[in-house]
Structure 1
Amino acid sequence: MPPKELPGFYYDPDKNRYFPTKGRIPGAANRPPRPPPPPAEPSPPPTERRKRTRQSELLHAREMYGGGVIFSKNNKSTFKQQCQYTQASQPMVWKYQGTTLVADKALEELHAMVQTPSGLRESKLLATGSTNGSIRLFGLGTALENFEDEMEFLPQPVWTPLGKQKAAVNSPLANIWSSETAFSNFSSSISCIKKFGHNFHDAASANSSVQRALVATLGSGGSGGSVYIMDMSTIDSATVSRNAHERIERVASFDRTVWTADCNSDGTQVVLGTNTGAGLLNLETGTLSWLYRCKSDILSQQFVHSGNVVLCGLRNGSIVPVDVRERHSNQPTGRSSPSTARGTVPMLSARHNARGRNQADKAKSSRVISMPSAVCSLVSLSSDEHYFLGSSMDGSIKLFDLRLIQKGAIQSYAGHVNSHNNLPLVVDPSETLLMSGGEDCTVRIWSIKTGEQIFAKSVADTLFTALCWPESNLDLDGSSSLFDLNHSWGAWMGSRDGLFYMHGT
């Protein structure tokens, strides 16, 4: 029989098989053209993608990978880190009423023993410093509640993530207490408040029931700045503001501006950032010596974890690491003792031993790191003391490695808007997250490891100039505190408008 005709094919009798025809298939012209594929939707920003991450997805990843590494499109992280990113992407922010102008310069959370009518009680205290020179102590537990001259400050929610409005009602933030008057008043602005051992993020230092704090003042008019030690070992709740003179001891005063200060972990040395260089004050001997001389103001300082190196951030944009173990050509410059501490400790003029100083400064200049503008904040990572974070007033935030100084920054954190204000940096205890606030009143949180921006929102109409991320989420007795009972993490934020608290939901 003749071969059967098939549309679009012809039969080859020699090969005894069908082959497609070369021409257009009949009827193809009448078919409608295939519609073009729909345009791809633009990918949402990292913050929105993070918000879309469901808890079930993380649980599924945990079942697949356990507690190990989870791979995403561009990087890898552990299950714990992914949970931290998700929690940080949807925070809640509260403002404490009546706290205007109390926390715009410094914030530090301290542990103290509070003497109450029923005996000693362990409590957390938040020390705040302001540009008007006052220090306030706020009780974060119930140890200071309802005692003489104590005022209660109530929180009000100012930022709630979408879909979490019920959290503000079902999980209200705890109230805090403070005296009607300031704990202490100084004649000039507070430069910093830093507790001893703040460079360590371990349980031993975080849960120490006896803590001291370093307080530095800027200086004004014809007088320079000063350094004080604040002892929080035992506080009488009934007279918390009337016995400040017994709790704050002036160590030394200086004949120049003290922009910043920092202390090593064991509380034996204090480094000072002045308008003419960096000085080192030995608290045990009272000896004051120069570490580094410069014509630019030192606006920020940070001891590394070991205490052997101090990072100095200059107004001209330089970051100079200085080894405190090196022999300095012009020490000592003065002595601070109980008889002279009330006076002024002079530092030697810049002409002293100019030849030795120039040689030492030249050696240090080879290790200088440069940022685009004035360096206003430095944070050393305790997990590896070679790494540190720095911010400059133009909004740049970068991660550096002391071993790779000549190669510049190894990570950048983009997004901030800033021009002339202080740009504070703070990291969480696990050193996974980085937080800061810029002139656009936007709080931003990044992953330290990847540089990914996890959160960026204007949570209040104010510029946050002081930040504190407490080292421990536990009370001294090991139980959860009032501030950590219903959420995973929390950080204090200070501005001229008042005291704020941000936490995960």
Structure 2
Amino acid sequence: MPPKELPGFYYDPEKNRYFPIKGPIPGAATRRPPAPAPAPPTPPPAAGCSRKRARRPDLLLSAREMYGGGVIFSGTNTRSTFKQQCQYAQASQPMAWKYQATASVADKALEELNAMVQTPQGLRESRMLVTGSTNGSVRLYRLGSALKYFGNDIEFLPQPAWTPVGKHKSATLPSICSAEAFFPTFSSSITCIKKFGLHVPDASNTNTPVQRALVATLGSGESGGSVYIMDLSDTIDSSLESWTACRVASLDRTVWTADCSPDGTRAAFGMDYGAALLDLETRGLSWLCRSKSDILSQKFVHSGNVVLCGLRNGNIVPVDVRQKHQNHPTGAPSPSTARRTVPMLPRRRQGTQRNQDDKVKCSRDISMSSAVCSLATLSSDENYFLGSSMDGSIKLFDLRLIQKGGIQSYEGHVNSHTHLPLVVDPSETLLMSGGEDCTVRIWSIKTGELIFAQCVPNTLFTAFCWPKSSHGLCGPSLFDENHSWGAWLGSRDGLFYMHGT
């Protein structure tokens, strides 16, 4: 009699057995599932760069249904998750808007903060975009549609800067507003604006996530740079004029960069003769390290125990901030209290002799091909960080493998003498930057694949901010609800907002 048909099984007459249909057939060679069909050809990219298009979302959905939601194999045999592939697809065709009448306001620093605003209808939560420029001005812009505009506000309207190929223009982005009165101008160029204190209770004791920001100025020939704290923990009135900036340190040298520890208790800033550490609670000032080369970039790792210092000579030096030091409440640090750079060393090497330790210190420094412009760390694993140099090279480093140099490169940028900023998306999947060729580029951090490149003639992007989504914090906002992601781009030509599809 012929064998019975059993659901989910098949009958092998040679072995006289039933075998499940799901899974590989016993005795058959295991093979990797075929990769999904490639995306259709796309128009050639801008001259001087080559990039690969992420696969279309419909192909990704097909791959997930066929092979499951785990690992997906690309044409180059690299592995990535379905979520990562979706992020690549959303970042491959972004749209950008330019806000009118915003020239020379955001060419040095961008940061997005939360604040409580006093309106005629009462206290309202609002997101604020803080911008800094080379002329020393700092402005606050109210974002989103949660608050209505008032009589003393200036409204800035967006216009499309570029639209994805083959797609219609999306819904109009909301305008932003700022006070009509001029904001105070600092004595020199803004170096950086860094937020800290993620959960500071406001004056009304509502425990809203209002924030503060550290503002550093470069300094001029007449005076050195300074460090200020912009405090948004108090209620701001609707005119946006009640915020305060308190000077916490004045120095007699140029301040190139600054950064805050994740817990908001310490700030490090790099100068033309070394780096200093500032206790934001006691205002104690001390040496972090001495250097004959300018420190152009700094970044705390996620634990806050180590700060990375990028030097003009191309070296990147990790410094342990837990070493003992003397405090100096006012003025510049005294050279007599300078302490040597303490690299991250294995515990067994802590007790070696001084000359041997110096040799280890030199060998543990990381070198790039030219001046280190920008540093970015990954909170998912503090051993990894990204660095950019002035010649256009961008690399991923591992502190455990310093002797091997960069473990991943991100190609395409054209740069020779300007600042090369780096910004990482909140999921730490994508990397964005802009070079002297007036081109914005997005890479995959994991694979180094160039996902997007767009040239904007005569626009050099020198500041980036990729904030986390604020759903549920400050009310509904068109900046979030209609887009998969969004980032702010600053240039001398104006303020831009770029978002995914």
State TM-score, norm by structure 1. Answer: 0.82
Cα pair 1:144 1:237 within 8 Å, conserved: no
Equivalent position of 1:232 in the other structure: 232
Are 2:125 and 1:122 equivalent residues in the alignment?
yes
Equivalent position of 2:329 in the other structure: 335
Are 2:401 and 1:399 equivalent residues in the alignment?
no
Please state how far the C-alpha of 1:354 moved relative to its aligned partner: 8.9
* SS in structure 2 at match of 1:60: helix
Equivalent position of 2:87 in the other structure: 84
Equivalent position of 2:187 in the other structure: 187
Is the alpha carbon distance of 1:148 and 1:315 closer, same or farther for their aligned partners in structure 2, counting shifts above 3 Å?
same
Cα pair 1:144 1:177 within 8 Å, conserved: no
User: Could you tell which deviates more after superposition, 178-187 or 410-419?
Assistant: 178-187
Structure of larger gyration radius:
1
Please state how far the C-alpha of 1:366 moved relative to its aligned partner: 2.9
The CA deviation string for residues 337-370 of structure 1, in whole angstroms up to 9 with x for no partner, is: xxxxxxxx12223x66799999787653332100
Equivalent position of 1:308 in the other structure: 305
Are 2:412 and 1:415 equivalent residues in the alignment?
yes
Are 2:172 and 1:160 equivalent residues in the alignment?
no
Q: Distance in 2 between matches of 1:353 and 1:185?
A: 33
- Counterpart of 1:391, as a letter, is S
State TM-score, norm by structure 2. Answer: 0.82
Equivalent position of 1:139 in the other structure: 142
- Counterpart of 2:494, as a letter, is G
Q: Distance in 1 between matches of 2:431 and 2:149?
A: 36
Equivalent position of 1:54 in the other structure: 56
Is the alpha carbon distance of 1:96 and 1:263 closer, same or farther for their aligned partners in structure 2, counting shifts above 3 Å?
same
Please state how far the C-alpha of 1:287 moved relative to its aligned partner: 1.6
* SS in structure 2 at match of 1:113: strand
Equivalent residue runs for 1:104-115 within 5 Å: 104-115=107-118
* SS in structure 2 at match of 1:86: helix
Equivalent position of 1:24 in the other structure: none
Please state how far the C-alpha of 1:234 moved relative to its aligned partner: 3.7
* SS in structure 1 at match of 2:138: strand
- Counterpart of 1:213, as a letter, is A
Is the alpha carbon distance of 1:197 and 1:70 closer, same or farther for their aligned partners in structure 2, counting shifts above 3 Å?
farther
Equivalent position of 1:8 in the other structure: none
Equivalent position of 2:68 in the other structure: 66
Cα pair 2:319 2:341 within 8 Å, conserved: no
The CA deviation string for residues 189-248 of structure 1, in whole angstroms up to 9 with x for no partner, is: 0010010168xxxxxxxx96221111111111221111111111244343312x34xx21
- Counterpart of 2:334, as a letter, is L
Q: Distance in 1 between matches of 2:86 and 2:429?
A: 11
Is the alpha carbon distance of 1:480 and 1:398 closer, same or farther for their aligned partners in structure 2, counting shifts above 3 Å?
farther
* SS in structure 2 at match of 1:211: strand
Q: Distance in 2 between matches of 1:95 and 1:104?
A: 14
Q: Distance in 1 between matches of 2:246 and 2:58?
A: 54
Q: Distance in 2 between matches of 1:449 and 1:356?
A: 31
The CA deviation string for residues 100-145 of structure 1, in whole angstroms up to 9 with x for no partner, is: 0000000000011111111111111000000000001010024553
- Counterpart of 2:58, as a letter, is S
Equivalent position of 2:211 in the other structure: 211
Equivalent position of 1:481 in the other structure: 477
What 5-or-longer segments of structure 2 have no aligned partner? 1-40, 199-206, 343-353
Q: Distance in 1 between matches of 2:471 and 2:64?
A: 26
* SS in structure 2 at match of 1:400: strand
Equivalent position of 2:249 in the other structure: 252
Please state how far the C-alpha of 1:481 moved relative to its aligned partner: 2.3
Please state how far the C-alpha of 1:43 moved relative to its aligned partner: 12
Q: Distance in 1 between matches of 2:51 and 2:228?
A: 46
Q: Distance in 1 between matches of 2:313 and 2:363?
A: 16
Q: Distance in 1 between matches of 2:132 and 2:212?
A: 15
Q: Distance in 2 between matches of 1:292 and 1:354?
A: 6
- Counterpart of 1:258, as a letter, is V
Is the alpha carbon distance of 1:187 and 1:324 closer, same or farther for their aligned partners in structure 2, counting shifts above 3 Å?
same
Cα pair 1:320 1:364 within 8 Å, conserved: no
Cα pair 2:217 2:255 within 8 Å, conserved: yes
Are 2:261 and 1:264 equivalent residues in the alignment?
yes
Is the alpha carbon distance of 1:386 and 1:461 closer, same or farther for their aligned partners in structure 2, counting shifts above 3 Å?
same
Q: How many equivalent residue pairs? A: 437
Equivalent position of 1:437 in the other structure: 434
Q: Distance in 1 between matches of 2:234 and 2:284?
A: 29
The CA deviation string for residues 141-177 of structure 1, in whole angstroms up to 9 with x for no partner, is: 245532242110000001111111x233xx1111100
Is the alpha carbon distance of 1:460 and 1:94 closer, same or farther for their aligned partners in structure 2, counting shifts above 3 Å?
farther
Cα pair 1:447 1:454 within 8 Å, conserved: yes
Equivalent position of 2:451 in the other structure: 454
Q: Distance in 1 between matches of 2:185 and 2:102?
A: 16
Q: Distance in 1 between matches of 2:341 and 2:97?
A: 54
* SS in structure 2 at match of 1:239: coil
Cα pair 2:488 2:495 within 8 Å, conserved: yes
- Counterpart of 1:348, as a letter, is S
- Counterpart of 2:333, as a letter, is M
Equivalent position of 1:3 in the other structure: none
Please state how far the C-alpha of 1:182 moved relative to its aligned partner: 3.8
Q: Distance in 2 between matches of 1:77 and 1:71?
A: 7
Cα pair 1:47 1:454 within 8 Å, conserved: no
Equivalent position of 2:334 in the other structure: 348
Please state how far the C-alpha of 1:54 moved relative to its aligned partner: 2.8
Is the alpha carbon distance of 1:289 and 1:162 closer, same or farther for their aligned partners in structure 2, counting shifts above 3 Å?
same
